[in-house]
Structure 1
Amino acid sequence: MVRGSGRRRRRGRRPLALLAPVLCLALGAGLAAALPDGARPDRAGPRASGLPAPGPATAEPSADPPVPADPPPAGPQASSGSVSVDCGRGEEGHHNEDNVVLSPGLRAGAHHTHAYVGNLSTDAASTDASLAAAATSCRGGDRSAYFWPVLRRTDRLGTRPHERAAGHGNTGRILPEAAVTVEYRGSPVSRVVPMPRFLRAVTGDAAAGTARDKGGVRARWGCSGTPDRSTTRYPRCPAGERVTRTLVFPSCWNGLDTDSPDHRAHLRFPAANGVCPADSFPVPQLRIGLEYEVEPGVPVAVDSFPEQRHDPRTDHAMFVNAMTDEQMAAVADCLNRGARCRL
């Protein structure tokens, strides 16, 4: 297994027990299949189904890309467990305009504001060593960094420093997360191997609004009252329900690297039939769930690059695994046993 050494790109031996091809799950943004009838928000009234509303700074997209698929039913060899990590909901107010995964070393390199849970030191200057030594908001001692662009209420002015710092058209009061769920899941068709320490990961396409190829779209917006329905557009949720974002990460590791030049090639998504790409291995699948208290009719916008104009399809998130090897081994073991665990 690969151990961190302060560098973002490392190589190590492939797990000897996994030299054969391994099957894993499909999470497919970019799948050609359309949403199933039960998941189409336009099948019911807007109040009942979370019908998408136009963003505040852009017209409603003319074509709604397929929402990433949920996993198929677990097979007999599945690692069907789950592990929850309680990292709070960002009560510490950890925000900045950095992105240590995509723009390491570059202050304000994101050009928009990120919210964090987990590692309390994460910024552009973070290293493997600094992350390993920092405090964390996670109760079980997980020092991993979990972060995503903030969601803003655009009809109210931001007054706090981190609400004004990003600029680039990202204005308005930052909505606090009412709930944050950090969960690891296994593969529906095989066992998983532990992630290497200091693995970097990204999900979603921050440039999806202007990209010709929408295959990188991983946005899943919805309403808390209808968790089986999701869309790639901003939802209108009934009174009493929360706006939700679900951020699912790739889970097929190349067995060698903790990062790659494009920050994606080392960790890819499984295919629709549950098979990981050739020469890759299933690792625990990270899912981050976010919930926000938003009154009906209140305009919201996710932070974005200026040219993306807050397009909801640009929703994305980043992750750095700073668990100890023992913690990650325990996660993989729980998943492989089919248990329900809390780190």
Structure 2
Amino acid sequence: MGRNTRKRRSPLATKVVAGAAALAVGGGGLVWANFYASAHESDSSHHRTRSAGAQVATIQCPDVGQKLRNVPRGARSGVDKELARLDEQITEAYARLASTRQAQSGDSAYVQNAILGPLKSKRTAALDRIGINIRRGGGDAPGGLDRFAECRGMGADQPGDGDNGDGNGGQDQDNGQGQDGGQDDGGQDDGQNQGDNGNGAAGPFADDFVDINDVQPNSRDLENGLAANGDGGSTGSFTAACGVNENNLFNSDNLIVAPGVDNGAHHTHDYVGNQNNNAFSSDDDLAGADTSCQNQGDKSTYYWPVLRLQDGTQEFDANDLGGGAEGNVGKILKATEAEIKFVGNQQSDVVAMPKFLRIITGDAKAFTNGVANANSSFSCTGFEDRQVTDKYVLCPEGSQVVRTSNFQSCWDGQNIDSANHRDHVAFVQQDGSCANGFQAIPQLQVRLVYDVPAPTVENGQVQNPYAVDGFPEQLHKPITDHNDFINVMDENLMNEVVDCINGGEDCQ
């Protein structure tokens, strides 16, 4: 498999690779896997489940990028680089957490003193630099940024409603102190490779999967991702045929969130549409690039985290940042279908999207942030009235896995992006209208279909699971699935899209 041209890694990034690689293949990773295996065994006693749950499974830090609302344009590059540095710091700290289980078992203060304390110091320095960048750009840095420096230990359960890391978000947290002395009587460090799936840090787990037959129809409970079109308003559609990444364009960058930062995503993306999308691409680069879309006027970039089968396959990125060095392992599964469609609004006509509009839907950190921005949806072909947000689905024989993302479809009428990459767009309200003076734009809907060998779940263990790529500390949770879009349609094509939708036609 190929991938687009990448810049050389910085020395800091190289250090992260070394630490994360040790996590992926080192003995500490096996102990880590055992911790999870016993925590999720279906026949575990109540005491064992409680004891294992008290352990620090991962690290929860306030998502500083979501807190920033007013960052001067001239300061955004520097601020984005510091936000990426915060992510790198969490990656490094998580690698230490996962590889020091034996030390933790003998010292109840180890996590706080050796991992969370030093992490807070590093984050404080990065937050100071964020404030400096904002002030140099002519803005007013938010007061008390250092309150976002402290991170916490967190259990492996799914999140509650969350608050982006300021409170506990419904999580089982213990600030790194609740190590419970030893590992209990379950033989946590006996060296047996239970549930490791080859990624050292483990995950996903049996509890992350559900039989599609056990999902109730029409039970998806997140408000995000409501389909915008209906019987009224603008009822047409426009379908973009852009393939399924036949050109094997992969990288672990994120041009929206971390422009100019190599490996800003810490996980690998599939790309369709624009063929020159990496962290260093300018708007001019995007406009001048080739496209995989049949309509050559659509140079938009559509990208999402790859889906992998954790079967031991050594992919091209097995030793790289974003790949195996950060726990994203196994065979990359290419979608058999990638349906990209733009639809209308229930209450009104839609207006044209501005060129280079950026939209992120879902939250790559929803496990530690809480579900406020989560927008994942998994289902199976033949069962698509059953959608689930916080589980991977087990499909019956002959049925395929489906990932669906319905994007925000209300725009503030002014900005192609915002400091936190969210405030310039919004989801429709319950009645399908846009609030607060926002304008309805074509809603992007992405439906991905995969031929995935069904994992087996027995005695609380999952064998050969599939999972979306993610930040290592997110434990490959399904609720972290997300999707990204940059509009690079030419003016004529965008006008055609709008005319089709407002005219009630179905075009492609």
TM-score of the pair, normalised by structure 2: 0.54
Structure 1 counterpart SS, 2:448:
strand
Equivalent residue in structure 2 for 1:170, among 328, 350, 375: 328
Equivalent residue in structure 2 for 1:282, among 440, 443, 446: 440
Provide the rounded CA distance (Å) in 2 between the counterparts of 1:61 and 1:114. Answer: 22
Aligned to 1:250: 408
Provide the rounded CA distance (Å) in 2 between the counterparts of 1:257 and 1:249. Answer: 17
Superposed displacement of residue 162, structure 1:
7.0
Aligned to 1:74: 230
Provide the rounded CA distance (Å) in 1 between the counterparts of 2:352 and 2:319. Answer: 37
- Two-structure CA RMSD over aligned residues (Å): 2.4
* 1:71 and 1:188 in contact (8 A); partners too: no
Per-residue CA deviations over 1:39-79 (Å, capped at 9, x if unaligned) read: xxxxxxxxxxxxxxxx94346369x9724565487354x10
Identity %: 40
Aligned to 2:238: 83
Superposed displacement of residue 280, structure 1:
0.6
Superposed displacement of residue 287, structure 1:
0.7
Provide the rounded CA distance (Å) in 2 between the counterparts of 1:96 and 1:302. Answer: 14
Aligned to 1:205: 363
Equivalent residue in structure 2 for 1:325, among 491, 494, 500: 491
Does 2:307 match 1:151? yes
- Greater displacement, 224-233 / 163-172: 163-172
Structure number having the greater helix percentage: 2
For the structure 1 residues 163 and 282, does the alpha-carbon distance in structure 2 shift closer, same or farther, using more than 3 Å as the test? farther
Aligned to 1:38: none
Structure 2 counterpart SS, 1:184:
strand
Aligned to 2:128: none
For the structure 1 residues 201 and 69, does the alpha-carbon distance in structure 2 shift closer, same or farther, using more than 3 Å as the test? closer
Where do 1:218-237 residues align within 5 Å? Answer: 218-232=375-389, 233-237=391-395
The structure that has the greater radius of gyration is 2
Provide the rounded CA distance (Å) in 1 between the counterparts of 2:318 and 2:246. Answer: 14
Aligned to 1:124: 279
* 2:254 and 2:278 in contact (8 A); partners too: yes
Where do 1:101-140 residues align within 5 Å? Answer: 101-140=256-295
Structure 2 counterpart SS, 1:332:
helix
For the structure 1 residues 93 and 188, does the alpha-carbon distance in structure 2 shift closer, same or farther, using more than 3 Å as the test? same
Superposed displacement of residue 306, structure 1:
1.2
Provide the rounded CA distance (Å) in 2 between the counterparts of 1:160 and 1:91. Answer: 16
Structure 1 counterpart SS, 2:473:
helix
- Number of residue pairs matched? 290
Per-residue CA deviations over 1:16-52 (Å, capped at 9, x if unaligned) read: xxxxxxxxxxxxxx8xxxxxxxxxxxxxxxxxxxxxx
For the structure 1 residues 306 and 243, does the alpha-carbon distance in structure 2 shift closer, same or farther, using more than 3 Å as the test? same
Structure 1 counterpart SS, 2:257:
coil
Structure 2 counterpart SS, 1:334:
helix
Does 2:349 match 1:191? yes
Provide the rounded CA distance (Å) in 2 between the counterparts of 1:162 and 1:119. Answer: 25
* 2:203 and 2:477 in contact (8 A); partners too: no
Per-residue CA deviations over 1:223-258 (Å, capped at 9, x if unaligned) read: 012122110110000111111100111010000000
Provide the rounded CA distance (Å) in 1 between the counterparts of 2:480 and 2:412. Answer: 26
TM-score of the pair, normalised by structure 1: 0.79
* 1:56 and 1:300 in contact (8 A); partners too: no
Provide the rounded CA distance (Å) in 2 between the counterparts of 1:302 and 1:309. Answer: 10
Does 2:204 match 1:57? yes
Q: Which has the higher contact order (CA 8 A, sep 6+)?
A: 1
- Structure 1 unaligned spans of 5+: 1-6, 10-29, 31-54
Equivalent residue in structure 2 for 1:293, among 420, 438, 451: 451
Aligned to 2:182: none
Superposed displacement of residue 154, structure 1:
0.6
Where do 1:25-40 residues align within 5 Å? Answer: none
Provide the rounded CA distance (Å) in 2 between the counterparts of 1:184 and 1:281. Answer: 15
Superposed displacement of residue 165, structure 1:
4.3
For the structure 1 residues 331 and 163, does the alpha-carbon distance in structure 2 shift closer, same or farther, using more than 3 Å as the test? farther
Per-residue CA deviations over 1:202-241 (Å, capped at 9, x if unaligned) read: 00011111124x1211000010121221101100001111
Provide the rounded CA distance (Å) in 1 between the counterparts of 2:394 and 2:385. Answer: 15
* 2:229 and 2:235 in contact (8 A); partners too: no
For the structure 1 residues 70 and 221, does the alpha-carbon distance in structure 2 shift closer, same or farther, using more than 3 Å as the test? same
Aligned to 2:193: none
Provide the rounded CA distance (Å) in 1 between the counterparts of 2:228 and 2:359. Answer: 23
